[in-house]
Protein backbone atom coordinates (compact mmCIF):
# COMPACT_ATOMS: atom_id res chain seq x y z
CA UNK A 1 0.00 0.00 0.00
CA UNK A 2 1.45 3.27 -1.08
CA UNK A 3 0.20 6.11 1.22
CA UNK A 4 1.48 9.57 0.65
CA UNK A 5 3.17 11.23 3.69
CA UNK A 6 1.19 14.38 3.03
CA UNK A 7 -2.12 12.56 3.73
CA UNK A 8 -0.75 11.07 6.95
CA UNK A 9 0.25 14.55 8.21
CA UNK A 10 -3.16 16.01 7.28
CA UNK A 11 -4.99 13.12 8.98
CA UNK A 12 -2.88 13.46 12.16
CA UNK A 13 -3.43 17.22 12.27
CA UNK A 14 -7.21 16.76 11.95
CA UNK A 15 -7.26 14.24 14.82
CA UNK A 16 -5.20 16.58 17.02
CA UNK A 17 -7.53 19.49 16.19
CA UNK A 18 -10.57 17.35 17.06
CA UNK A 19 -9.07 16.46 20.47
CA UNK A 20 -8.31 20.13 21.25
CA UNK A 21 -11.79 21.32 20.24
CA UNK A 22 -13.44 18.57 22.30
CA UNK A 23 -11.36 19.56 25.35
CA UNK A 24 -12.20 23.25 25.04
CA UNK A 25 -15.93 22.58 24.62
CA UNK A 26 -15.94 20.23 27.65
CA UNK A 27 -14.03 22.76 29.78
CA UNK A 28 -16.46 25.61 29.06
CA UNK A 29 -19.52 23.39 29.64
CA UNK A 30 -18.13 22.36 33.06
CA UNK A 31 -17.18 25.94 33.87
CA UNK A 32 -20.73 27.10 33.08
CA UNK A 33 -22.09 24.36 35.34
CA UNK A 34 -19.75 25.47 38.15
CA UNK A 35 -17.66 22.29 38.15
CA UNK A 36 -14.28 23.82 37.34
CA UNK A 37 -12.12 24.64 40.33
CA UNK A 38 -11.70 28.36 40.83
CA UNK A 39 -8.64 29.98 42.35
CA UNK A 40 -8.33 29.17 46.04
CA UNK A 41 -10.31 31.61 48.12
CA UNK A 42 -7.79 33.41 50.24
CA UNK A 43 -6.94 36.92 51.28
CA UNK A 44 -5.49 37.67 47.84
CA UNK A 45 -8.39 36.41 45.70
CA UNK A 46 -11.35 38.69 45.07
CA UNK A 47 -14.03 38.13 42.50
CA UNK A 48 -14.18 41.00 40.05
CA UNK A 49 -16.66 43.78 40.70
CA UNK A 50 -19.13 43.67 37.85
CA UNK A 51 -19.57 46.93 35.96
CA UNK A 52 -23.05 46.10 34.70
CA UNK A 53 -24.60 44.56 37.85
CA UNK A 54 -25.12 45.98 41.32
CA UNK A 55 -23.50 42.98 43.02
CA UNK A 56 -22.13 39.46 42.63
CA UNK A 57 -22.06 36.72 45.24
CA UNK A 58 -19.60 33.80 45.03
CA UNK A 59 -20.26 30.69 47.10
CA UNK A 60 -17.53 28.25 48.09
CA UNK A 61 -17.90 24.74 49.38
CA UNK A 62 -15.93 21.50 49.04
CA UNK A 63 -13.11 23.32 47.22
CA UNK A 64 -15.41 24.51 44.44
CA UNK A 65 -16.72 28.00 43.79
CA UNK A 66 -19.64 29.25 41.75
CA UNK A 67 -21.59 32.43 41.12
CA UNK A 68 -24.67 32.30 43.37
CA UNK A 69 -25.87 35.88 42.84
CA UNK A 70 -29.34 34.78 41.77
CA UNK A 71 -29.87 32.28 44.58
CA UNK A 72 -32.19 32.79 47.51
CA UNK A 73 -31.29 29.68 49.55
CA UNK A 74 -27.85 28.92 51.00
CA UNK A 75 -26.29 26.01 52.90
CA UNK A 76 -25.11 26.58 56.46
CA UNK A 77 -21.34 26.65 56.77
CA UNK A 78 -20.91 27.67 53.12
CA UNK A 79 -18.42 30.48 52.57
CA UNK A 80 -19.43 33.53 50.52
CA UNK A 81 -17.72 36.56 49.03
CA UNK A 82 -19.90 39.51 48.04
CA UNK A 83 -18.68 42.24 45.70
CA UNK A 84 -20.76 45.37 45.17
CA UNK A 85 -20.52 47.93 42.38
CA UNK A 86 -21.29 51.13 44.28
CA UNK A 87 -21.25 53.24 41.11
CA UNK A 88 -24.70 51.75 40.38
CA UNK A 89 -25.96 53.82 43.34
CA UNK A 90 -24.83 57.24 42.13
CA UNK A 91 -28.10 58.98 43.02
CA UNK A 92 -27.06 59.73 46.61
CA UNK A 93 -28.77 62.87 47.85
CA UNK A 94 -26.30 63.78 50.57
CA UNK A 95 -22.82 65.26 50.23
CA UNK A 96 -20.88 64.34 52.30
CA UNK A 97 -22.57 61.23 53.63
CA UNK A 98 -21.94 58.20 55.82
CA UNK A 99 -22.11 54.77 54.23
CA UNK A 100 -22.98 52.00 56.69
CA UNK A 101 -23.09 48.26 56.09
CA UNK A 102 -24.37 45.34 58.11
CA UNK A 103 -24.34 41.54 57.75
CA UNK A 104 -25.65 38.57 59.75
CA UNK A 105 -22.97 36.28 58.33
CA UNK A 106 -20.36 34.70 60.60
CA UNK A 107 -17.14 36.64 60.24
CA UNK A 108 -19.12 39.85 59.85
CA UNK A 109 -19.53 42.33 62.60
CA UNK A 110 -21.93 44.91 63.89
CA UNK A 111 -22.95 47.83 61.71
CA UNK A 112 -19.87 49.63 60.39
CA UNK A 113 -19.83 53.11 58.88
CA UNK A 114 -17.44 55.35 57.03
CA UNK A 115 -17.60 58.95 55.91
CA UNK A 116 -17.63 59.66 52.20
CA UNK A 117 -17.29 62.96 50.40
CA UNK A 118 -17.97 63.95 46.80
CA UNK A 119 -15.70 61.19 45.47
CA UNK A 120 -17.74 58.02 45.95
CA UNK A 121 -16.37 54.52 46.33
CA UNK A 122 -16.39 52.44 43.18
CA UNK A 123 -16.64 49.05 44.83
CA UNK A 124 -16.95 47.14 48.06
CA UNK A 125 -15.92 43.52 48.79
CA UNK A 126 -17.02 41.49 51.79
CA UNK A 127 -14.75 38.42 52.05
CA UNK A 128 -14.63 35.15 53.96
CA UNK A 129 -18.14 35.22 55.39
CA UNK A 130 -19.84 32.01 56.53
CA UNK A 131 -23.57 31.27 56.21
CA UNK A 132 -25.00 30.98 59.76
CA UNK A 133 -26.49 27.75 61.09
CA UNK A 134 -28.99 29.26 63.50
CA UNK A 135 -31.00 31.73 61.38
CA UNK A 136 -33.72 30.78 58.91
CA UNK A 137 -33.66 34.20 57.22
CA UNK A 138 -30.53 36.33 57.41
CA UNK A 139 -29.04 39.54 56.00
CA UNK A 140 -26.27 38.89 53.49
CA UNK A 141 -25.45 42.58 53.18
CA UNK A 142 -27.33 45.82 53.85
CA UNK A 143 -26.15 49.30 52.85
CA UNK A 144 -27.65 52.42 54.40
CA UNK A 145 -26.69 56.05 53.78
CA UNK A 146 -26.94 58.76 56.45
CA UNK A 147 -26.48 62.54 56.04
CA UNK A 148 -24.62 62.91 59.34
CA UNK A 149 -23.06 60.84 62.11
CA UNK A 150 -26.26 60.69 64.22
CA UNK A 151 -27.26 57.50 62.34
CA UNK A 152 -30.96 58.02 63.05
CA UNK A 153 -33.06 55.41 61.24
CA UNK A 154 -35.53 58.10 60.14
CA UNK A 155 -32.78 59.91 58.18
CA UNK A 156 -31.21 56.79 56.68
CA UNK A 157 -31.79 55.63 53.13
CA UNK A 158 -31.32 51.90 52.50
CA UNK A 159 -29.76 51.50 49.06
CA UNK A 160 -29.35 47.72 49.16
CA UNK A 161 -30.73 44.94 51.35
CA UNK A 162 -29.74 41.39 50.35
CA UNK A 163 -31.38 38.64 52.34
CA UNK A 164 -30.94 34.89 52.17
CA UNK A 165 -32.68 31.82 53.50
CA UNK A 166 -31.14 28.73 55.01
CA UNK A 167 -31.64 25.41 53.19
CA UNK A 168 -33.47 23.09 55.57
- The strand pair at 55-61 and 64-67 is best described as antiparallel
Q: Where are the domains of the chain?
A: 1-36, 55-166
Architecture of domain 55-166: Sandwich (2.60)
Q: Smallest Cα–Cα separation from 124: which of 85, 78, 96, 165? A: 85
pLDDT per residue as tens digits for the range 42-95: 444 556 666 778 888 888 877 778 888 888 888 888 888 888 887 776 666 666
pLDDT per residue as tens digits for the range 112-156: 887 776 455 677 778 778 888 888 888 888 888 887 777 777 778
CA atoms within 13 A on the CB side of 89: 22
Kindly give, in sequence order, each residue whose CB lies less than 8 Å from that of residue 13, ignoring residues fewer than 6 positions away. Answer: none
Tell me the pTM: 0.62
Q: Smallest Cα–Cα separation from 41: which of 21, 68, 63? A: 63
Q: Whole-angstrom Cα distance, residue 114 to residue 97?
A: 9
Amino acid sequence: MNINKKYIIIFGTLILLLVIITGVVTYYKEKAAGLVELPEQNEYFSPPISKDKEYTIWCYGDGMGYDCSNEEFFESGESVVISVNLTQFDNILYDPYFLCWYTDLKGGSEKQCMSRSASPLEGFILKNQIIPEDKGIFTLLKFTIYPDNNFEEANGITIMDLTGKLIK
